[in-house]
Amino acid sequence: MAYRADDKGYRFDTQRITAGYDPYENLKAVSLPIYATAAFEFEDVQEAHDLFGLKKTGFLYTRDSNPTNLVLEEKISKLDGAAGAVTVASGMAAISNTIFNLAEGGGRVLVSPYIYGGSVDGFKKVYEPFGIHIDTAEHILEPELLADEIKPDTRAIFVESISNPNAYVLDIDAIAKVAHDHGIVLVVDNTGATPYLYKPFEHGADIVVYSATKGLNGHGNAIAGIVLESGKFNYNNGHYPQFDEKYYTLRDDAGNWRTVTEVFPETPFTVRLRVKYLDLVGSVLSPFDAYLTVLGIETLSERLSRQSKTALKLAQYLEDNEHVNFVRYPGLFSSSFYDIAKKNLPNGAGGILSFGFIGSQEQKELFLNSTKLFHYHVNLGDVRSLIVDSPDTTHSELEDKEKKIADIPDNLIRISAGLEDVDDLIADLEQAFKIAFSE
């Protein structure tokens, strides 16, 4: 029987292959085509008017939407359990579009200190001139105390599900309750986990963002970002006046202007982001990069499962190494995050781990320069195993006091486990330690 896109009831590993794509709507092409076109023909004048007036779904210009990108959006929506999704040019674009969409006109965002250094740098440098203030959450690991940090103009809480570089696993359920008790949105950056390991919407998240460059793509050959929404949050609760704004472009047949929540009640956040920020600011994901990300998702389960197992074995090796004074990986029994990881990450604790190198700066650099299998660069979630000194690279933007708050000591080294044989990876670390300490 031929596949049809409207088949329902499939499990995760089937959906990652089939969701969002119907060959019979694409000249029976088995593999997703790359629609390398800037614009699309209209059937007639009426269709053009309907598309521009958002009365009909379809394609008019790739800056707004593209068939290749749409497959990625529908696939990740199905895997994450989202009501809607928008693809953008990068993970940073996913974050910036989300923050502007939530807090435009002024407001605050309460941010976990345990996040990617580029995100921290963006929070410090980009939003303040636009009247958006960023507060660092002191009690993100103690959600019962988090309510005291929410202010009247706080618009969102922002966290990472598995943090970079420490692989901290937060209690998203408890944080979501605090956010919702105050009528504000919880944004979860799920880059490190992907929906294979963790589905934030099932734990109370309202918005999920991805750097799809990382685990979703998994091959280090595309830069991409995605924003998804749960479809359950009430944006007309008084905290988000921008969602009460009526638009001329959303007028009904009688000419009445309408709000995005009136016209798109299930997907107001992603629709507003698409028609305002994606369209008018223009951080567009190319169809080619969308295609590469779709290909990556087709092997998501195998990659993340293998990487989680490899990361655990690497962490166990490092725990017993005399040149290491700490190992951070939630899959370790010794980790303070072991219980919550065991509960919420049944498919594995991810491929990110970090450890503390005991030695001089010169020895640390010699160690890093001596690895042969590990690639020294700043990506994550690659099929290749990666190693980097985060305090001097991925988190070099953080000032000393910020590194202290984020628990990133100067001797921290981050690993992103790939798909190589784990014994070869351990042997590579072993020989690099020997060179660094002249053993």
pLDDT of 423 higher than 60: yes
Examine the domain organization and report whether 404 and 347 are in the same domain. yes
Examine the domain organization and report whether 276 and 331 are in the same domain. no
Angstrom distance (rounded) from CA 381 to CA 307: 8
Examine the domain organization and report whether 175 and 258 are in the same domain. yes
pLDDT digits (tens, 9 = 90+) for 386-416: 999 999 999 999 999 999 999 999 999 999 9
Kindly state whether residue 66 falls inside one of the protein's structural domains. Answer: yes
Kindly state whether residue 202 falls inside one of the protein's structural domains. Answer: yes
> Among 278, 297, 316, where does a domain finish?
297
Angstrom distance (rounded) from CA 270 to CA 48: 22
3-state secondary structure of 226: strand
Examine the domain organization and report whether 54 and 164 are in the same domain. yes
Best CA proximity match to 198, nearest among 98, 79, 311, 106: 79
Examine the domain organization and report whether 272 and 374 are in the same domain. no
Confidence (pLDDT) at 439: 60
pLDDT band (50, 70, 90) for residue 5 = low
pLDDT of 419 higher than 70: yes
Residue 172 sits at the vertex; the CA angle it makes with 108 and 104, to the nearest 5 degrees, is: 20
pLDDT of 2 higher than 70: no
| Amino acid letter, residue 143 | P
Confidence (pLDDT) at 392: 94
pLDDT of 193 higher than 90: yes
Examine the domain organization and report whether 413 and 427 are in the same domain. yes
pLDDT band (50, 70, 90) for residue 54 = confident
pLDDT band (50, 70, 90) for residue 1 = very low
Best CA proximity match to 207, nearest among 184, 240, 182, 238: 184
Examine the domain organization and report whether 287 and 331 are in the same domain. no
Examine the domain organization and report whether 240 and 290 are in the same domain. yes
| DSSP sequence for 365-394 | HHHHHH-SSSB-SS--S-SS-EEE-GGGTT
Mean per-residue pLDDT of the chain: 95
Q: Which long-range contacts (CB under 8 A, 24 or more apart) does 334-341 make?
A: 337/167, 337/168, 337/169, 340/169, 340/171, 341/169
Domains in the chain, number: 2
Angstrom distance (rounded) from CA 208 to CA 188: 5
pLDDT digits (tens, 9 = 90+) for 283-336: 999 999 999 999 999 999 999 999 999 999 999 999 999 999 999 999 999 999
Query: What is the residue range of 39's domain?
Result: 12-297
- Beta strands at 154-160 and 352-357: parallel, antiparallel or unpaired: unpaired
Examine the domain organization and report whether 206 and 326 are in the same domain. no
pLDDT digits (tens, 9 = 90+) for 270-279: 999 999 999 9
